[in-house]
Structure 1
Amino acid sequence: MKWNQALKDYVSYLKIERGLSDNSITNYELDIKKLINYLEVHGIKTTPLTIDETTVQQFVYEVAKVVQPKSQARIISGLKSFFNYLIFEDYRNDNPLELIESPKTGRKLPDTLAKEEVNSLVDAIDLSKPEGTRNYAIIEALYGCGLRVSELINLKLSDLFFEEGFIKVTGKGDKQRFVPIATYTQKYIDIYKNEVRNHLAIKPGHEDFLFLNRRGAQLTRAMIFTIIKQLAVKSGITKNISPHTLRHSFATHLLEGGADLRAIQLMLGHESITTTEIYMHVDRSHLTKVIAQYHPRNNRNENV
């Protein structure tokens, strides 16, 4: 079996059997292509079925020279997944990365915006321009619903259930969830729909996408990043922020306000509560207040 065929079969497996998102599949594919490129550059003649632990270790060592530990760990994880797939399909009986450990990366959390900084961000938007009205609705949707950027750009008109107070969100692996949406956020999405979007010449195939560019086509991930970076500069925010910063701020502010961690997990679409806990970058004093306010032992008047 040649590398290109093995990679093609692996991508099909990730898409059809594991149901991963396009972004996740692309990342896995890039990991394998890095290994293939390394083998070609160094003239190493081997196949997915014959490559050994020594060769893979040499590749990982080369990777470690040029990428950060977090990226190195992701590549190792991607390669392990690929060779586990080959074992699953009975092409191999061993994983050459079995004894290779990923570097410790720690838990590096993204910056969180204070509530005042979120206000500064939206205050920097020029609402006299059509794209300003759209951008205001975008920021409110990201921060008000805790959306990933991929979820935002794929949000459709048919996903809006404003009368019921929810939107339908398609997350990782095409898994869908219903997320509550505040009337304030609904208001600005409606303004954008009625005053800006309705006047666009919408391209065929893009009629149902909520957020569109000036040419009537679906917005890209890169465009959302650009919008937020420009607003950060304009509002004087020096933190390195991205669309994910607003998602992280959404979760953090909910927890600080006393929201239930399980409810936040469901709204964010996390498979595991452990993932949600990583997002909760809050002051320990807040957790102390939660115990003091809600634990039954703190509400009993006992004579000891």
Structure 2
Amino acid sequence: MEMMAAQAGAARNTLTAYRTDLRLASESLGGSLSVADASALHRLAAHWSDLSRATVARKAAALRRFFAFLVEEGDRPDDPSSALPRPGTDRGLPRTLSHDDIDRLFAVVAARLERDPPLVPDLRLSALIELLYGSGLRASELVSLPRLAVQPDKPFLILKGKGGRERLVPLSDRARAAVAAWRMHVPADQAFLFPSGKSHLSRVRLFQIVRAVAIEAGIAPDRISPHVLRHAFATHLLEGGADLRALQSMLGHADIATTEIYTHVDRRHLVQLVNERHPLREALVDAGARAS
């Protein structure tokens, strides 16, 4: 874990997942994971038959990294991880929300804010939803924002995301206004923008807040989560003509292949986009007129 944190720059959630996978594998092998041979790993993998391909791929990746580390450190002469399965990840299309869904969600938030004065929890709700959908933040990034991360005179914030990579995240005027209204109720001695006890709002609590407002908006709770709002941010930007590389930067994806999952948008829209915005459009129209 120290190597993963220091050398690989793994994020806290990644470290937690690796630690859990290694502990469970060790328990399955009676505490002999570090000396396991190929046959032992075959037996271990047999216990994963009911798991999804993505979960098996993650567990196998954690073990491969572990055995590579043992070899590098000289703790064993061989690496038996070739015996582990390589199922690949069955990456499906991301769940997202329609524009109508988003409109209903924000209508609920707006109705709550019409109270005079608005309730403090509703101010927090507005800031959370505006940042999730308006900037595409990950849940862990959002709840751990420092109190002064969002500034009223800056249309972006500098964020440290997965793997410690920094990126610029765009902020809409609405999001900055919502944060400013909420921050007035956050004590100056608090470290986080969304404090809770001695730390910050948990991802679980954020999930509960998002689902509660979705139910009020008439959206089935199993269709929404903080990550679904991130997907909606990306999908709707791409539908509006955003560049895939720019979207990669805004989302903080290390590999553009991850961003490409959002190209599932309606192909009719993409055809319309080409017809309306391609630089040769006017030349093609003129040529067609002369031909007729």
Q: What's the TM-score bracket when you normalise by the shorter of the two chains?
A: 0.7 to 0.9
Partner of 2:251: 268
1:186 paired residue among 164, 171, 176: 176
**Whole-Å separation in 2 of the counterparts to 1:295 and 1:190:** 40
SS in 2 for 1:225: helix
2:59 paired residue among 75, 82, 87: 75
Query: Contact 1:270/1:276 (CA < 8 Å) preserved in 2?
Result: yes
1:279 aligns with 2:262: yes
Query: Contact 2:94/2:261 (CA < 8 Å) preserved in 1?
Result: no
TM-score by length of 1: 0.84
Query: Contact 2:131/2:137 (CA < 8 Å) preserved in 1?
Result: yes
1:243 paired residue among 213, 220, 226: 226
Shift of 1:133: 1.2
Shift of 1:70: 1.9
2:236 paired residue among 235, 253, 269: 253
Query: Contact 2:26/2:32 (CA < 8 Å) preserved in 1?
Result: no
1:278-297 aligned at under 5 Å gives the runs 278-297=261-280
Shift of 1:292: 2.6
Shift of 1:68: 2.2
2:79 paired residue among 79, 82, 95: 95
SS in 2 for 1:167: strand
Letter in 1 for 2:150: L
Partner of 2:153: 163
Letter in 1 for 2:202: T
Partner of 1:7: none
Once structures 1 and 2 are overlaid, which stretch shifts more, 253-262 or 102-111? 102-111
**Whole-Å separation in 1 of the counterparts to 2:9 and 2:70:** 18
Partner of 2:96: 112
1:22 paired residue among 12, 20, 37: 12
**Whole-Å separation in 2 of the counterparts to 1:47 and 1:267:** 40
1:197 aligns with 2:191: no
**Whole-Å separation in 2 of the counterparts to 1:47 and 1:232:** 45
**Whole-Å separation in 1 of the counterparts to 2:177 and 2:69:** 48
**Identity across aligned pairs (percent)?**
35
1:232 paired residue among 214, 234, 251: 214
Query: Contact 2:45/2:85 (CA < 8 Å) preserved in 1?
Result: no
Letter in 2 for 1:197: V
Query: Contact 2:132/2:142 (CA < 8 Å) preserved in 1?
Result: yes
Partner of 2:105: 121
Partner of 2:123: 133
Shift of 1:47: 5.0
Shift of 1:217: 4.5
SS in 2 for 1:159: coil
Size of the aligned set, in residue pairs, is: 280
Please report the RMSD computed on the Cα atoms of aligned residues, expressed in angstroms: 2.2
Partner of 1:3: none
Deviations 1:25-73 (A, max 9, x none): 1101111111111012xxxx7451x3111111111111223x2222122
2:200 paired residue among 214, 218, 229: 218
**Whole-Å separation in 2 of the counterparts to 1:36 and 1:113:** 41
**Whole-Å separation in 1 of the counterparts to 2:216 and 2:18:** 36
**Whole-Å separation in 2 of the counterparts to 1:39 and 1:151:** 36
SS in 2 for 1:177: strand
Unaligned residue ranges in structure 1 (runs of 5+): 1-10
Letter in 2 for 1:228: V
Shift of 1:14: 0.4
Once structures 1 and 2 are overlaid, which stretch shifts more, 251-260 or 75-84? 75-84
SS in 2 for 1:253: helix
1:142 aligns with 2:124: no
1:59 paired residue among 31, 44, 54: 44
Letter in 1 for 2:186: R
**Whole-Å separation in 2 of the counterparts to 1:191 and 1:37:** 50
SS in 2 for 1:208: coil
**Whole-Å separation in 1 of the counterparts to 2:10 and 2:211:** 29
